[in-house]
Amino acid sequence: MPTVIACFKWVIDEAYIRRSPSGDLDFSSVDYKIGEYDRNAIEEAVRLKETAGAKAIAVTVGMPEAAKGVKDALSRGIDEAYFIADSSFGNLDSSQTALILGEVIRNRIEQYDVILCGEGSSDLYAQQVGPRLAEQLGIPCISFVQKLSLAKDQLVAERRVEEGIEVITSPLPALVTVLPDINVPRIPGVKDTLMAGKKPTVKITKDDLPPLSEPLLRTISLTSSRLERSCERFGTDAAEIARFVGSLRKKGAIG
């Protein structure tokens, strides 16, 4: 029975980030979610469970609050979860996250065939944890995959490149990062959510890990991206439509 691991990140839902009158980012009313692209990784792991009889494991590194995300992942059809949590894990850089994930996958999940990651996290979207994790584990990395199948001892993946598509074969184990169009993530029902509470979760704390490495990327500021637009409103009657088109012409936007 193949083992498939989906990695995910519990992130701030960017739709709730406001800009304060002073122009700073306002995180006061934010909600959290499993990253959009990571939902595709989870769904693909569950799809491989259903089509190839795989065991589906989810792994995440984050703050203790990410426990909600672990339950969410389990309700989406994952069999068991590894939850690596510490209150200092809120702002890890990609290299630190990959190092921690690699450490846990290597030592706790001895045998695995495919590791799935989203193409990027939907908060910082650095798109590096997947490739860096593959390097940590010394396994092949196939990024930006839109179609995946498992055959005997190898996987076949269609990945997106500039000129089109490359169909790739890789020996197992391998790491795959998936594009949003690989599948449509399911929405868990009430029963799935109830079942999730009964599934096993392995909790790992900072003390179970080697000392944290230094970050390779230091964020020096995070500010609101100002979009200076005039936000002028128009109605739908003939005079307003004419004024709208006139405004476009005046701005030189159309000939």
Partner 1 sequence: MSGVWIISENRRQSLELLNIGRQLADKMGTHAAALLYQDREHAGDCVSHGADEVMLLPPLSSEQPAESCIPVILEEAKKGDPELILLSATPRGKNMAALLAARLNAGLVSSCTQIDYDEGSKTLVMERLAYGGAAVQKAVCSARPAMATIPPRTYETAMPKTGRQGNIRELPSPPPSAIKVIERKVKAKEAKDISEARVVVCVGRGIEKAEDLTIARQLAEAVSGSIGCTRPIAEELHWLPEELCIGLSGIQVKPDLYLGIGVSGQVQHVTGIRNAKVIAVVNKDENAPIFKAADFGIVGDLYDVVPKLISELKK
Region 162-221 residues binding partner 1, contact defined as CB under 8 A: 162-171, 174, 180-181, 184, 214-221
- Residue 160 is a binding residue for partner 1 (CB under 8 A): yes
- Residue 248 is a binding residue for partner 1 (CB under 8 A): yes
- Minimum Å gap between C-beta 42 and partner 1 is 17
- Minimum Å gap between C-beta 82 and partner 1 is 21
Would you call 45 helix, strand, or coil by DSSP? Answer: helix
- Minimum Å gap between C-beta 86 and partner 1 is 21
Residue-wise burial string across 143-154, b where 16 or more C-beta atoms lie within 10 A, e elsewhere: bbbbebebeeee
Candidates 64-72, 109-117, 155-163, 194-202 — which segment interacts with partner 1 by CB under 8 A?
Answer: 155-163
Per-residue contact string for residues 103-122; x = within reach of partner 1 by CB under 8 A: ----------------xx-x
- Residue 247 is a binding residue for partner 1 (CB under 8 A): yes
Question: Taken in order 218, 220, 224, 229, is the CA torsion positive or negative?
Answer: negative
Q: Which residue has the tokens 């997106």?
A: 160
Taking the C-alpha atoms of residue 72 and residue 56, their distance in angstroms, rounded to an integer, is 14
CA-based nearest residue to 12, from 28, 41, 60: 28
- Minimum Å gap between C-beta 29 and partner 1 is 14
60 beta partners: 8, 83
Of 190 and 239, the one with the shorter C-beta distance to partner 1 is 239
Taking the C-alpha atoms of residue 92 and residue 101, their distance in angstroms, rounded to an integer, is 12
Q: Compute how many residues bind partner 1; rule: CB under 8 A.
A: 81
CA-based nearest residue to 205, from 32, 58, 62, 10: 62
Name the strand (E) or helix (H) holding 36: helix 36-52
Of 5 and 179, the one with the shorter C-beta distance to partner 1 is 179
The residue within the footprint of partner 1, chosen from 44, 93, 103, 113 (CB under 8 A), is 93
Which residues within the stretch 26-85 sit at the binding site for partner 1 (CB under 8 A)? Answer: none
Of 190 and 231, the one with the shorter C-beta distance to partner 1 is 231
- Minimum Å gap between C-beta 168 and partner 1 is 5
CA-based nearest residue to 93, from 58, 61, 135, 64: 61
Would you call 51 helix, strand, or coil by DSSP? Answer: helix
Per-residue contact string for residues 219-238; x = within reach of partner 1 by CB under 8 A: xxxxxxx-x-xxxxxxxx-x
The residue within the footprint of partner 1, chosen from 101, 142, 196, 204 (CB under 8 A), is 142
